[in-house]
């Protein structure tokens, strides 16, 4: 039985966010098993190995917005994917 890394738990939690909904970094950290690891969630999403599969654009900061440093990267990926009708933005 393989043990999941914390990043794998984060990616699994993010993939469970339904279309049209968002979750905060803190909520994802709690779902992944460490409610104090919101910054680690941001780091994991910055390193997202499958941006078209793991919907990083559904994770927002505590104010309900994409974090400014992350928004550029995520938006660029989503725009490229949307051009191929693959990425559906929920934010």
Residue (of 68, 63, 67, 9) closest to 35 by Cα position: 9
> Which residues are annotated as catalytic?
56
pLDDT above 70: percentage of residues in the chain: 75
d(CA 38, CA 27): 8
**Tell me, what's the pLDDT at 62?**
92
H or E stretch covering 10: helix 6-15
**Tell me, what's the pLDDT at 1?**
61
Between residues 74 and 2, the one the model is more confident about = 2
Q: Average pLDDT in the 70-88 region?
A: 56
**Tell me, what's the pLDDT at 52?**
80
**Tell me, what's the pLDDT at 25?**
96
The pLDDT tens digits of the residues spanning 20-60 come to 999 999 999 999 999 999 999 999 998 888 888 899 889 99
The two three-digit tokens of residue 19, written as one number: 């279309």
Asked if the model's pLDDT at residue 82 lies above 90, the reply is no
């Amino acid at each position: 039985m393989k043990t999941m890394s914390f990043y794998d738990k984060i990616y699994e939690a993010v993939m469970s966010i339904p279309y049209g909904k968002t979750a905060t970094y803190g909520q994802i950290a709690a779902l992944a098993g460490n409610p104090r690891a919101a910054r680690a969630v941001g780091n994991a999403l910055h390193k997202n190995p499958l941006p078209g599969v793991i919907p990083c654009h559904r994770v927002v900061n505590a104010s309900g917005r994409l974090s400014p440093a992350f928004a550029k990267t995520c938006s660029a990926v989503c725009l490229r994917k949307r051009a191929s009708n693959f990425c559906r933005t929920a934010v």
